[in-house]
């Protein structure tokens, strides 16, 4: 069968799309393995092949966030949201970047949007924990505890949620409950280190 010009173009485009998809998925796998530089590299290749690939921007944004390149993370996640306004993961990752930059109101807004779009998606525990961190920073401790509780329900082994809930209890001067949570989840060395962090946070507030 002889392909016309349009048919040939479609075949080539499908081939390019398949390569972009492969780079994106490998980038996501590198992200899961915490090999963030490789994730950025693969997602960048996917974006070069398909500049409108929302998932590639989201994965790269998550990798940038893990690399503490928060402005780049926000830029990529915003691009993903521009391409797909209902992309819950991109809101979650952008919320985490905003939280790291101490832009807590924006972090809460993005995390809330992620939860609204998909309350049960795979990263929900992280979304609730991220929002809990933002609430804690804004001294809305009851809301922080509520979100951390939800994160723990979704992932009982999510150590960060226990730590953040403990910090909120300490801030509310519920020291016994906070200490009990830290002991349950940590070694004694970790407990001491976390107590130092919590005390430092409380002294600054």
| pLDDT (0 to 100) of residue 10 | 78
Indicate whether 65 belongs to any domain.
yes
Q: What's the pTM value of the predicted model, to 2 decimals?
A: 0.78
Question: What mean pLDDT is predicted for residues 119-142?
Answer: 87
Instruction: Quote the number of domains for the chain.
Output: 1
- pLDDT, one tens digit per residue, over 34-58 is 999 999 999 999 999 999 999 999 9
Indicate whether 55 belongs to any domain.
yes
| Residue 189 pLDDT grade (very low, low, confident, very high; cuts 50, 70, 90) | very low
- CATH code where residue 72 lies: 1.25.40.10
Indicate whether 33 belongs to any domain.
yes
Distance of alpha carbon 190 from alpha carbon 20, whole angstroms? 42
Q: What are phi and psi of 121, to 5 degrees?
A: -75, 165
- pLDDT, one tens digit per residue, over 61-103 is 999 999 999 999 999 999 999 999 999 999 999 999 999 999 9
Q: Who's near 32: CB < 8 A, 6+ residues apart? A: none
């Amino acid at each position: 069968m002889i392909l016309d010009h349009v048919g040939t173009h479609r075949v080539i485009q499908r081939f390019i799309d398949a390569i972009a998809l492969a780079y994106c998925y490998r980038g996501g796998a590198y992200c899961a393995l915490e090999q963030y530089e490789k994730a950025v590299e693969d997602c960048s290749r996917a974006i070069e092949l398909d500049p409108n690939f929302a998932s590639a921007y989201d994965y790269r944004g998550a990798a940038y966030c893990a690399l503490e390149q928060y402005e780049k993370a926000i830029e990529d996640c915003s691009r993903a949201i521009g391409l797909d306004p209902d992309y819950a993961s991109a809101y979650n990752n952008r919320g985490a970047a905003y939280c790291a930059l101490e832009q807590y109101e924006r972090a809460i807004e993005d995390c809330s949007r992620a939860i609204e779009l998909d309350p049960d998606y795979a990263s929900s525990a992280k979304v609730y924990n991220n929002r809990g961190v933002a609430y804690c920073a804004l001294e809305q401790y009851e809301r922080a505890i509520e979100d951390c509780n939800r994160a723990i329900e979704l992932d009982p082994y999510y150590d960060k949620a226990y730590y953040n809930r403990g910090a909120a209890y300490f801030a509310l001067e519920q020291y016994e409950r906070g200490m009990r949570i830290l002991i349950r989840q940590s070694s004694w060395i970790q407990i001491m280190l976390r107590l130092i962090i919590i005390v430092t946070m409380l002294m600054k507030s």
